[in-house]
Amino acid sequence: MSFFNIRHIHKSFVSGEVEEQILKGINLSLQQGEMTALVGASGSGKSTLLTIAAGLQPASSGHILFKHNDLATLSQEQLRQIRAQEFGFVFQFAHLVPFLTVKEQLELMLEVADKKVDEKHISEILELVGMRHRQDAYPASLSGGEKQRVAIARAIIHEPTILFADEPTASLDSKRSSEIMQLLTTLTKTLQLTTLIVTHDEDMLHYVDKVVHMRDGQIME
């Protein structure tokens, strides 16, 4: 079912005396258990749309509707709670805390989300992403692909509803990229996530359920 809806989103920036329109009336509905990819050239607005959908920056106008809430009407504290408890984030770089082990990265995320630290749940999630055998390792000893697997585990450990992924394979080689996309696909189906991913790599698009092409701040039909 569709329970995350992007409606009439506009985004503009003012540079000097010139107003630049980044997004021009975007409408998009996301479905549970599906991965939707935003693709387009640099400057098309895809990453801006993702950050607005995720409540990381405000739109100039329009609505992000989620669980009977309009994100535009929420306070900063309400937005923080939704981001911490309902949303998961994966970025191009893993951004792991260097002095925490793999397991401790997940424990920290649970604390941020005000969730109980459950050792069994942590083990299950690490097993899902193929990193249980590395739970006591520190980031410095992990490969790029392993770091991204840990980042994905951290993004889903608190059982979010929506998963946002901004260029999650951009720093990986083709083999690791395919592995990460296959993992995201599996997790989307297994956990019934609603996943929105930004990618420039068209070789990865066969992993997703829906492809949305963007150009000059608009969705191309």
Single-letter amino acid code for the residue at 211:
V
According to DSSP H, which parts of 119-170 are helical?
A: 119-128, 144-156
**Average pLDDT value over all residues in the chain:** 93
First to last CA, the chain: 22
Predicted confidence at residue 179, as pLDDT, reads 94
State pLDDT tens for residues 181-214: 999 999 999 999 999 999 988 888 999 999 999 9
Is the pLDDT at 34 greater than 80? The verdict is: yes
What is the side-by-side order of every strand in the sheet holding 18-31? 18-31, 2-15, 61-66, 69-70
User: Measuring CA to CA, which residue among 109, 106, 129, 131 is closest to residue 119?
Assistant: 106
Residue 110: band (very low, low, confident or very high) from pLDDT cuts 50, 70, 90: very high
pTM summary value: 0.93
Give the Cα-Cα-Cα angle 153, 6, 197 (nearest 5 degrees): 35
Contact in structure between 194 and 30 (CB atoms under 8 Å): yes
How much of the chain is in helix, strand and coil states, percent to nearest 5? 40, 30, 35
Q: CATH topology for 2-219?
A: Rossmann fold (3.40.50)
Is the pLDDT at 1 greater than 50? The verdict is: no
- Arithmetic mean of pLDDT, 24-46: 94
Q: Two tokens at 118?
A: 């459950």
